[in-house]
Amino acid sequence: MIYLDHNATTPIAPAVREAMLPTLDGLFGNPSSIHEAGRLARNAIDQARRDVASFVNVHARQVIFTGSGTEAHNLALKGVALRRGKGRILISAIEHSSIRGAARDLAGLGFGVEEIPVTGTGVVEPAEVRRRLADDVILVSVMTANNETGVLQDIAAIARDVRAAGAVMHTDAVQAAGKCALDFSALGVQLLSLSAHKLYGPKGVGALVTDGSVDLSAQVSGGGQEAGLRAGTENVPGIVGFGAACALAGQSLDARSERSRELRDRFEQRLREKFDATVFGNTAPRLGNTSQFALADMDGETLQMGLDRHGIAVSTGSACHSKSTEASHVLLAMGVPVETARGAIRASFGAGNTQADVDALLAALADVRRVLPTGAVGW
């Protein structure tokens, strides 16, 4: 299989696996136990916390481990809103379903939720956020990088206005982490979410990074783990793997992202030469590994299935959308016509990819295009 779906998830890196193995074997203690077995597990978590913290340039005490990026988002949005009790929440129109779902829950509880529009290239203009800020806005959430298009946002500029208006600024940095440099203080946010499985770590572990100034209401109550904000015996293997993945990403970020960008750029250049293709968000600052595109008159799901038959894994957008025939809300928010949006597929390059994978993708696209009649949906 040629795997070109690294924005959906990544394989566990060998160094991460090595770091995790002892936690599946001898290092089995409960980190809350005070005997030696417990202390060893606690030490492993402490080291992982330091590794995650230094990856985003914060102190270890600012990292709260969660069960996923989705859970980190829920802790951020619901944690702020339920503590404040009332108010308005602004999210961008292109947020991942994990933010949209948490916001929808809060709307159901009576909080006002408003979407900030984006430009045709998928950019959230700071002025659009500023125009909506008012005394009753308690929280603003804008993603650092979009999972479908890879488009990057000017989080620092948005955060400056949000904080000046007295609201809390959260960013979903799940896709940016490991693909571009991330510095919590430089972004100027109060809350930032991460997920291990997007950066060659294990699934089922994430983190909410906080500046310590925000009073959060715990979303999982119980034994008081994670500073009382996320109870439950810690996922030691997952957390240790997350720490190792962050340490690795810190060391290999430049080489990794440069390589992915080269592959992506060469792919897009040849895509345009060979096909009548639209590439989404390509004039905005973007993650170097991501290419979301559509071929004229081709249905995205059909194209994806055709590539799968050639042993090539790509996505129709967000992995959560892959079973749905709905057009991407991200592309619709960018003003892409619904028929074009239905044609979208996403190739996201990663550490193991080579030029031969790009060649194979282009050849397979040509073959699927040749075999399938224009406008064909399904096999």
3-state SS assignment for residue 93: coil
Least Å distance, CB 188 to ligand PLP, is 20
Minimum distance of ligand PLP from residue 203's CB (angstroms): 7
Nearer to ligand PLP, 347 or 365 (CB): 347
Partnered with residue 378 across adjacent β-strands are: none
List, in order, residues 6 or more apart from 157 with CB less than 8 Å away.
126
Considering the complex, state which of residue 156 and residue 319 has its C-beta at the smaller distance from ligand PLP.
319
CB of 33 to ligand PLP, least distance (A): 28
Q: Decide: 16 and 248 in contact? Cβ < 8 Å.
A: yes
Instruction: Pick between residue 42 and residue 289 the one whose CB is nearest to ligand PLP.
Output: 289
CA–CA distance from 186 to each of 109, 154, 189 (Å)? 33, 11, 8
172 vs 66: CA distance, rounded Å: 14
Tokens 């892409």 -> residue: 336
Pairing of strands 206-210, 191-195: antiparallel
> What amino acid positions are annotated as catalytic residues?
320
Q: Which is nearer to ligand PLP, 96 or 259 (CB)?
A: 96
Shortest Cβ distance from residue 340 to ligand PLP (Å)?
Answer: 22
Count of Cβ atoms closer than 10 Å to residue 138 Cβ: 21
Task: Supply the minimum distance, in Å, between the C-beta of residue 135 and ligand PLP.
Answer: 29
Query: Which long-range contacts does 100-107 make (Cβ < 8 Å, 24+ apart)?
Result: 100/329, 101/70, 102/73, 102/74, 102/76, 102/77, 102/78, 103/77, 103/141, 105/78, 106/77, 106/78, 106/81
Beta partners for residue 107, in sequence order: none
Looking at residue 280, the DSSP 8-state letter turns out to be T
Q: Cβ closer to ligand PLP: 113 or 330?
A: 330
State in angstroms the smallest separation of the CB of 179 from ligand PLP.
11
| H/E segment holding residue 290 | strand 290-295
Task: Please spell the DSSP secondary structure of 184-227, one letter per residue.
Answer: HHHHT-SEEEEEGGGTTS-SS-EEEEE-S-S----SB-SS-TGG
149 or 175, CB closer to ligand PLP?
Answer: 175
For ligand PLP, the binding residues (CB under 6 A) are 68-70, 96, 98, 143, 147, 172, 174-175, 195, 206, 319
Nearer to ligand PLP, 42 or 286 (CB): 286
Closest separation between CB of residue 317 and ligand PLP, Å? Answer: 10
Can you tell me the distance from the alpha carbon of 226 to that of 289, in angstroms, rounded to the nearest whole number?
A: 33
C-alpha 21 chain-centroid distance: 26
Q: Which residues pair with 295 in a beta bridge?
A: 277
The answer to whether the CB of 7 falls within 8 A of the CB of 198 is yes
CB atoms within 10 A of CB 80: 24
Tokens of 188: 């100027």
